[in-house]
Amino acid sequence: MPARRPRVLLVTPPYHSGVVEAAGVWLPLSLVYLAGHARAAGAEVKIYDAMSLFHSHEDIAREIASFRPDVVATGAITAMEPDCRELLATAKRWNPATVTVMGNVHPTFCWEQLLRDDPNVDLVVRGEGEHTIADVVRAVAAGGGETEWAKIDGLSYRRGGVPVSNRPRAFTQDLDTLVPAWDLVDWKLYWYRPSPAGRLAITSSARGCGQRCSFCSQQKFWERTWRGRDPLKFVKELEHLRDTYNVRVAMLSDETPTSSRHRWERILDLLVERQTGVEILLETRVDDILRDEAILPKYRAAGVSHIYVGVESTSQSTLNLYHKDIKVSESKKAIELINAHDIVSETSFVLGTPEETAESIRKTVELAKWYGPDMAFFLAITPWPYADIVEDQASGLASRVATTDYRKYNLVEPVVKPDRMTLDEMQRELHMATGRFFHDKFVNLDKLSPWKRSFMVRVLKLLIENSYLGKEMHQMAKGAKMPDSVRRMLAEMEAEGRKVEAERARHVG
């Protein structure tokens, strides 16, 4: 192992499902934090975002040969796991002595299977990874091997060829002690497409989720805990990103940034007082929006322009199955409140339980229109191998899983077969559901405020050109009922889009 300073290459896998690419190019925040702590431990670090670059495994092989890393690390949600394994195999082909590391949600729970089945995975980081990757860097500098790995909390590895795990690493209680390596980000890559000047950062003001949604990985990963950053330090970080890297839009990666009403209101007040001018996109819970009804004007004044709330179903019995702990009527009211403050409202509906039919999906679309969000997406229920809902006999999912090809576990491609539909029928109905929903939205654009109307037309254009829903959206846009005003706006945005892409190309160049 190296007597020199260890080199660490942090890599995103070349995985794409057509879900997030429509709206923008998103930086891998987890790698930014890992980079900061690997560097502080003495490593020379590079972040290689192969996913955002649309690079291939062949490109990754060339990058590895060029950088010559001692450690190659990546992170996998379930859908990314096969490509993460392939890129680590690439590292091993280049040099079998390279230490390969995989972390994030899927490996945290499936570490034993990974280490048993794939000799190209040396180490698995379970849970939060910043301090663990720093310990790995120090261990590599000391020569590595089983003796060194055995000292590291939160690490799984092979001892004598057998997968073993050290004790869990405790969560970092003071999140402000974590240091992201913002200077290692290739900022020219990251854009929020609905905003022409939208250089985009992904930021974190809190970590954790105290809810118990049975289909979700996050509450399980965070062990139903929650921690929030100091409001002033978080807002100062936004100002730093704005002033140093020209960031104009920030999406919060937090599962529930609003969990603490007092802390969240303090953040809003600081954003208003300091006039950061950074547009904020966030996700939160229906019940937090209802709780904050009196302070929603502060959301808008603080720059919050887009709120996603997880409605997931229009059926109370299904909500109960998912352990959402909300009522149908509460979801509708939360969306109405978001809309009333001229904030873009977005939600999703998780479909594909065993009793699902084409008729029930179409009924859900009609009920989704009744809820009234600006944006809604219809997703396939996905049984992560570690999710609570898979073990729940009442769900009936375990016996209906039709494929174990993890690349399909992306919420877009159905992997659970309903009793009265084929997988192809299920996928077709999901795509048509989104088309039907957005057709209704664009027929009624005149009911929106001018800026929201402009935003929604941008969304239509992006869905047509950049998403897996392009065919359905194109057919919807050609519909006879499409208002002339929308057609004119689309034409105008074609011209504007060419200017934006030219500007972006200039930055990239």
Q: Are residues 12 and 157 in the same domain?
A: yes
Cα–Cα dist 250/238, whole Å = 8
Rounded mean pLDDT of 254-276?
94
Token digits for 91?
A: 């590292």
How confident is the model over 122-132, as pLDDT tens digits?
Answer: 999 999 999 99
Domain end position, chosen among 138, 165, 192? 165
At which residue do the structure tokens 């005003």 appear?
Answer: 485
Q: Are residues 280 and 401 in the same domain?
A: yes
Q: Are residues 221 and 161 in the same domain?
A: no
76 closest CA partner among 86, 65, 61, 67: 86
> pLDDT band at 470, cuts 50/70/90?
low
Rounded mean pLDDT of 300-326?
69
pLDDT above 70: percentage of residues in the chain: 81
How confident is the model over 429-463, as pLDDT tens digits?
Answer: 998 898 889 888 888 888 888 888 888 888 877 77
For residue 115, pLDDT over 90 is answered with yes
Q: Are residues 153 and 188 in the same domain?
A: no
Report the number of distinct structural domains present in the chain: 2
pTM of the entire predicted model: 0.88
Token digits for 140?
A: 């590599």
Task: Assign residue 405 the CATH number of its domain.
Answer: 3.20.20.70
At which residue do the structure tokens 């849970």 appear?
Answer: 127
> What is the signed CA dihedral for 445, 448, 449, 453, rounded to 10 degrees?
-30
16 versus 475: which is more confidently predicted? Answer: 16
289 versus 349: which is more confidently predicted? Answer: 289
Q: Are residues 99 and 222 in the same domain?
A: no
How confident is the model over 161-195, as pLDDT tens digits?
Answer: 999 999 999 999 999 999 999 999 999 999 988 88
Q: Are residues 102 and 221 in the same domain?
A: no
Q: Is there a domain that residue 449 lies in? A: no
Q: Is there a domain that residue 294 lies in? A: yes
Q: Is there a domain that residue 425 lies in? A: yes
Q: Is there a domain that residue 46 lies in? A: yes
Q: Are residues 154 and 184 in the same domain?
A: no
Q: Are residues 149 and 184 in the same domain?
A: no
For residue 370, pLDDT over 80 is answered with yes
> pLDDT band at 481, cuts 50/70/90?
low
In terms of residue numbers, what domain contains 46? 7-165
Q: Is there a domain that residue 45 lies in? A: yes
How confident is the model over 291-308, as pLDDT tens digits?
Answer: 999 999 999 999 999 999
Token digits for 158?
A: 């092979």
> pLDDT band at 324, cuts 50/70/90?
very low
Cα–Cα dist 505/509, whole Å = 6
At which residue do the structure tokens 């009804």 appear?
Answer: 293
